[in-house]
Amino acid sequence: MTAQIIDGKKVSQHILTQLTQELQKRQTHKLRQPCLAVVLLGDDPASAVYVRNKQRACESIGIKSCQHLLPASTTEAELLRLIDAMNTDDTIDGILIQLPLPAHIDSEHVLERILPDKDVDGFHPYNLGRLVVKKPLLRPCTPKGIMTLLSYYGVNPEGKKAVVVGASNIVGRPQALELLLAKATVTICHSATRHLAEEVAGADILVVGVGIPHFIQAEWIKPGAVVIDVGINRLPDGQLCGDVDFEGARQRAGMITPVPGGVGPMTIASLMENTLKAAVLHDKADDLSVVANPL
Ligand code: GUN
């Protein structure tokens, strides 16, 4: 069997086109242009590329973006002051702090400082909690993008065995909650998991986000499985690759995401969706029922 390739670039373009139309409608109705504020500390080249791609996506669909490119030596207190200022700035709808942050900064403390209704990354404990209680509001972008991809390709997780490899706050944990919400039977594997190959072999839907090139061997994969590779790893020769042995896995899987061009563009498309959603929440900020009755 040769797997169908799940084309994240194509699906993300489709979403961005829809968003462009919605943003044009807002303009017609004299509603504010949404604005995303992005903060990057330090000069990590990969983070700089991600931030640039987010800015380009904003520009391409009609969302304003403002960037704070700060030195790696920025203190936690300075970063918290900036977040406080952005929280109270009515012209800003979404706040994104690019991760990872330098080691001297407590990321959780920083992420908790963002107002939950401006938390377009969906990393605030409030937004993660909303997902836990089956009432998601702003949903973490990568898992949200993966659910959009599954839906686009007609993969319904209900009743399926889903295995998530990696238990990070950004990907693995919220991904497991999304799949659970979609009625899959979910297993989360992590560094202490025994018999990983056996767990992976049970997966109808496999999502991998560990950041280790070719970590998942092709022969572990259940024939016909849907394989979603979140990894973006740079090999010594400069090439990008995922966490799954793609060439081997595509001979066994039913569907598979490539790297690049799979999950990556979907993360950005979901961020744009969240930013529009945050702007709509702010439009309705006078209406206290908005928290009880999310969009
Ligand atoms: N670093 C890697 N992925 C992400 C993401 O989705 N959001 C942010 N803010 N930082 C990241």
The DSSP H or E segment spanning 4 is strand 4-5
Q: What is the pLDDT of residues 155-205, one digit of tens each?
A: 999 999 999 999 999 999 999 999 999 999 999 999 999 999 999 999 999
Query: Which residue's CA is the nearest one to ligand 1's atom 11?
Result: 99
What does the pLDDT read at residue 1?
76
Give the other-Cβ count within 10 Å of 286's Cβ: 7
Is residue 54 among the annotated active site residues? yes
Q: What is the pLDDT of residues 38-49, one digit of tens each?
A: 999 999 999 999
- Report the sign of the C-alpha dihedral through residues 82, 83, 89, 94, in that order: positive
Interatomic CA distance for residues 212 and 234, integer angstroms: 10
The residue to which tokens 């030596």 are assigned: 73
Q: What is the pLDDT of residues 210-236, one digit of tens each?
A: 999 999 999 999 999 999 999 999 999
Distance 72 CA to ligand 1 centre (A): 17
What does the pLDDT read at residue 287?
53
* Ligand 1 pocket mutation, candidates 41, 49, 96, 121, criterion most atoms within 8 A of CB: 121
Encoded amino acid at 41, one letter: L
What does the pLDDT read at residue 148?
98
Encoded amino acid at 84, one letter: D
Interatomic CA distance for residues 68 and 82, integer angstroms: 9
- Cα-based angle 250, 253, 257 (whole degrees, multiple of 5): 65
- Give the chain's radius of gyration (CA, Å): 19
- Burial annotation 36-73 (CB, 10 A radius, 16+ → b, else e): bbbbbbbeeeebeebbeebbebbeebbbbbebbeeeee
CA atoms within 13 A on the CB side of 36: 28
Query: Which residue's CA is the nearest one to ligand 1's atom 4?
Result: 99
Distance 243 CA to ligand 1 centre (A): 17
Res. 115: pLDDT tops 60? yes
- Side by side, which strands form the sheet with 255-256? 4-5, 255-256, 226-229, 205-208, 161-165, 185-189
- The atom number, within ligand 1, closest to the CA of 140 reads 6
Interatomic CA distance for residues 78 and 277, integer angstroms: 28
Res. 89: pLDDT tops 50? yes
Interatomic CA distance for residues 165 and 173, integer angstroms: 10
Distance 27 CA to ligand 1 centre (A): 29
Distance 14 CA to ligand 1 centre (A): 22
Confidence (pTM): 0.95
